[in-house]
Every structure is written in C-alpha cells, then in structure tokens.
Chains A and B, each alone.
Chain A
Amino acid sequence: MCLAVPGRVDRIYEEGGTRMGRVDFGGIVKEVCLEFVPEVEVGDYTIVHVGFALSKIDEAEARETLETFRAMGVLAEELGEEGDDPHEVSG
C-alpha cells in the first residue's frame, strides 16, 4: 500500500544540497524531503509518503470536492435520511 498523509509545511531549508522541510501532521513534526515538490512553499499542505513530499495539495480542488459532497449531504438531510442506529448489532 502507499500510506501517505497530508501535512503542513512549516519550514523549508537546504541540507547537504537537498531541499528539506519540517512538516506538521496534526501536531507532530517530521523532517521531510521536499526535493520532488519545488513548487511547495511554507504554509502549503503536501502529501507525504515514507519521508518524501509527493504533491502539493490543491486547495481549490479540495474545496470543490467538499462543496459537491456538502450539496449531497444537505440534500440527504432534507429528504430526512436516517443513519444506522449505531447500537444495533446483528449477530
């Protein structure tokens, strides 16, 4: 699998000729190689896999996807959709 998670770039620096950065994942900070994402700047979010940033997260695309979802969610609520009862388990 390819476990990659979004984190916020807090700092960018050079180390031994390599573009490195400190990336924050919900309050934990790891050193990450930024060599593959020359466009990433401090404050950007990036997807990190085994210590390497692989792409800059596109804020506008994320917002668009979420808005599409929200429209569906709102629609569902208006239709009075009920979720499963979480305390009912069939054996």
Chain B
Amino acid sequence: MSDHPAIALFGGILGVLVLASLVGWILGRRAGPEGSAAIDNLNARIRAWWVMVVLIGLSFLAGKPGVIILFALASFFALREFVTLTPTRRGDHYSLFAMFFVVLPVQYYLIWIDWYGLYSIFIPVYAFLFMPILVALRGDTARFMTRIAEMQWGMMIAIFCLSHVPALITLDIPGFEGRNLLLIAFLVIVVQSSDVLQYVWGKLFGRHKVAPRLSPSKTWEGLVGGIASATLLGACLWWITPFGFLQAGLAALVVALMGFLGGLVMSAIKRDRGVKDWGRLIEGHGGMLDRLDSVVFAAPIFFHLVRYGWTV
C-alpha cells in the first residue's frame, strides 16, 4: 500500500465519493422536506459505498490476511442469502452445515497457502461428489436431484467463484511484485462502475429492453453505453495493472460483459424465487449477492485471463 499507484487510486476513489455525497446532499435539499424516494435511495447507496470503500481499504492495509478474511465473510453472507431462498429439507442439514463450516473455510485456506491445483477443483470435483453422499446417507430422497443441484449452485456462486477475487493476490507476475492488491481494485472498480454506468446510460437514453421479462431496467442503450464507458475507464486505469493501455481496455471489456451477464443470470434466479432482492444486508443495495452478482461471474474469468496471460 505504500506505493504511489495505490495512494493515487484511493485518493481518486475518495474524491469521487466526496463528489457523489455532495451531489446527493444538494439533490436532497432541493427535493425539500418531503424528500423523494429516488433521492433517498441514491443517498443510502452513496452511504453504503462509503462503508464498502472503507472496509476494502482497511482490508488492503492489512494485506493478504485482511483480503482473504473480507472475502470469506462475503462468501458466508452470500451463501446464507442463497440457501435462505432455497427450499431445503431436514435431510440436507449435515450437508448445509458442511458447506458453511467445512467447504468455505477449506477453500479460503487453500487460497491462503496458494495451492492452485487443489483450490481450482476442490468444489467442482470433491464437494460435488461428497455433498450428495452426505444427503444420501440421511435417506430422504424427495426432490433429491433438485436439492443437490441447488446446493452445488450455492457453493459454486457464493464460495468458488467469489474466492477467485482474493486468489488474485497469489499470482506471480514478473515486474508486478507486491502490487497484486491493485488487480483486485481494478476488477472491483471496473465491475461496479460498469453497473452504475449501465444504470446511468439506461436512465438517460434507454429505449429498447434487453430482457424485459427478466430485468425491466436493463436496456440495450444502457448496456452498450455502460460497457463502453467502463471499458474506457478500465483502459485509463492501465497504470495500476501489469497491462498496457489496450490490454487493460480489453480486460475491462471482458470483465464488464461477464458482470452484465452475471447480473442477468442472478436476476433470473430471483425471478424464479419471486423476490426482488437477495437480502437486506446493505441499505439501498439489497443483500450481499445483489452487490456481488456481477463480481461473482467476472472473477474466475479475469483470474484465468491474468494467470494464463501474465504469470510465469
């Protein structure tokens, strides 16, 4: 954290937040004493952004342990939201317990000790085989396939995919030593700003809906404008990454696209469950999964992009 790019980056983020808070405050005063729901929601979101930036900043100061603990907790909350919306049965009790208190800590421990060979197959192979065994041993066969599949999904989304964010610090990139945390910052900034920019572009110019039955607020204009501007933003952040300007732009494009598609898939699950939000953890943002849905889908792809393109 003592290097210049990190300080410049956090300075820039704080500047953006101060500006956003100022705008929110002015809008709130203009709306008068009765206020407006949209502006209240905006201000709640800005406050939540402050909390998130401070949390991420603190974990960065603590280095590797801080980041791994932060994302392990995020996985815990995300998984709790996921299983809460899943119709589980009594016979799933052991396997659910194992998901939270065995699979989750083991996955993050494997990342801690940088055992890539095992953490990349631990959940898709080993947990995949052992969870149905635990359920079968309890003998309740009602909707067996559905129950197993939903638990596997929860583990893949909330633990496996999300754990690829802190895994970025384990990559050995020549000439980039000691600055891997900035890769996490790059990923999170591109994904989150892409979400915000899609919303802004959609509000300003949105006409044609992408998937009206899934997510009525997503429009082609918002999608194209948001992803293009997030790509440009990512390219302009090349100086915090091991990439050149064009490479950073390409990486940002991939990340923003995956983020958008992730949001779409997670919306489909919410539709299926008949809910609007995954939870109520963060004021104005819904639950942990509402904020992380796009990160979840972008993280493993970005991780492998860097791993196969830039490590030795």
Q: Do A and B come from one complex?
A: no
The chain A residues found within 8 Å of chain B, CB to CB, are none
The chain B residues found within 8 Å of chain A, CB to CB, are none
